[in-house]
Amino acid sequence: LRLFLDTAEKSAWREWLPTGLFHGVTTNPTLLAAAGIPCDLAVLPALVDAAFSLGANEMQIQTFGRTADVLERNGRAIAALDPRVVVKIPVTFDGILAAGRLKADGVRVTITAVYAAHQALTAAAIGADYAAPYFGRMNDAGRDGEGEIVAMRNLVAESGAATRILVASLRSADDLARLAARGLDTFTFSPKVAAMLFADPLTEAAAEAFEAAAGADQVPAPSAV
Ligand code: E4P
């Protein structure tokens, strides 16, 4: 199992990375904007330093540009920031062209914004490290997210490629469990979904009952002893 936290908010990295649940963090230009960070190569070194110093083992950063040449150039600059950085690239014609060039030079890449099984095959064909389907957005668009993602996983496995299916756009802890039960093992999700992993009222009631039985309220805090 490999989990990523899908946000560029350092406060969320600070909160969630120490739990040990996450292999790393994923970002994209939309998430940078949401965190008030410009999509600018000049700001990325500080962001990368923050992610790794807060405990990420891997950081995924999306390249940007409207042509393969610009996507490739920005992707090389992003990859040069740290060997633990993976470059995300949308599954467009130019994106695949740029990703293939980056892979040829040993850069690790994630093909993102994947909505259909045949797109995952293009990621496998260029030897991408990850292909990232958008589960929630597929369902929003009236597609069968679960069926399509299971098909992706099967097609990529049968192709012999080592590309991992990195499921994104999860909206709930149930989404995560449902897809894990179908054999998916790599996910990225928001801090909001991460919080849902700990939001079971029965667990909260049980934990509270344990504390009440332990008389925890009567025990002085260590600093007061
Ligand atoms: C992935 O790169 C996206 O940030 C994300 O998974 C999209 O999630 P959403 O559809 O819930 O916005």
Amino acid at position 119, single letter:
Q
Q: Is 103 a catalytic residue?
A: no
Find where tokens 């993976």 sit: 86
Q: Where does the pLDDT of residue 224 fall: very low under 50, low under 70, confident under 90, or very high at 90 and above?
A: low
pLDDT attached to residue 217 = 66
Distance 168 CA to ligand 1 centre (A): 6
pLDDT tens readout for residues 180-213: 999 999 999 999 999 999 999 999 999 999 999 9
Please tell me whether residue 87 adopts helix, strand or coil conformation.
Answer: strand
Ligand 1 lined by 60 (C-beta under 6 Å): no
Please state, rounded to an integer, the average pLDDT across all residues of the chain: 96
Note the pLDDT tens digit of each residue in 153-165.
999 999 999 999 9
**pTM higher than 0.90:** yes
Q: What is the CATH number of domain 2-199?
A: 3.20.20.70
**Which residue's CA is the nearest one to ligand 1's atom 3?**
169
Identify the residue whose tokens are 């890449």. Answer: 109
The verdict on ipTM greater than 0.90 is yes
Band of the pLDDT at 222, cuts 50, 70, 90? low
Question: Which residue has a Cα nearest atom 6 of ligand 1?
Answer: 169
> What is residue 47's predicted lDDT score, i.e. its pLDDT?
98
